[in-house]
Amino acid sequence: MRSVKVFSVLLAMLFALVVAGIAVAGEGPEVITLKAKKGDVTFHHHQHQAKFKCGECHHGPNHSEYKEGMKIQTCDKCHTKDFSNKKLNSVMKAMHTNCKGCHKEHKADGAPTKCSGCHKK
């Protein structure tokens, strides 16, 4: 009987660890590959989720504030040549505006700040 209790406790602990692992991993793909002329960028989405809030990168239409549960569109749905803000009228411009500033802020944490740090040929 004692072994059944021990087994039950161990099973409950294992379940809790799996659930915690899923919560930490977050939603969305673990890794995203962004095709680029200067070399593809492998974006480690789950690693960023562990450090930053979703709203630091994601937003709604007209750059509205991100809200929990909001459907996330890919950047190329809006950031096109027809986008009204010419500084953000491509995915590359939007990424560079968002990512480069953050990478400069987190340089001491190992964030790459040179092109070759993200773009791999």
Instruction: Take residue 66 and report the two structure tokens written for it.
Output: 């991100």
Amino acid of residue 14: L
For tokens 């209790």, name the residue.
Answer: 5
Q: Which domains does the chain have, with CATH numbers?
A: 2-120 (3.90.10.10)
Choose between 72 and 8: higher pLDDT.
Answer: 72
Q: Is the pTM of this model over 0.85?
A: no
Handedness of CA 104, 30, 73, 52 (dihedral sign): negative
pLDDT per residue as tens digits for the range 4-62:
443 343 333 434 333 334 444 458 899 999 999 999 999 999 999 999 999 988 998 88
CA distance 1 to 8: 11
8-22 as b/e: b if 16+ CB within 10 A: eeeeeeeeeeeeeee
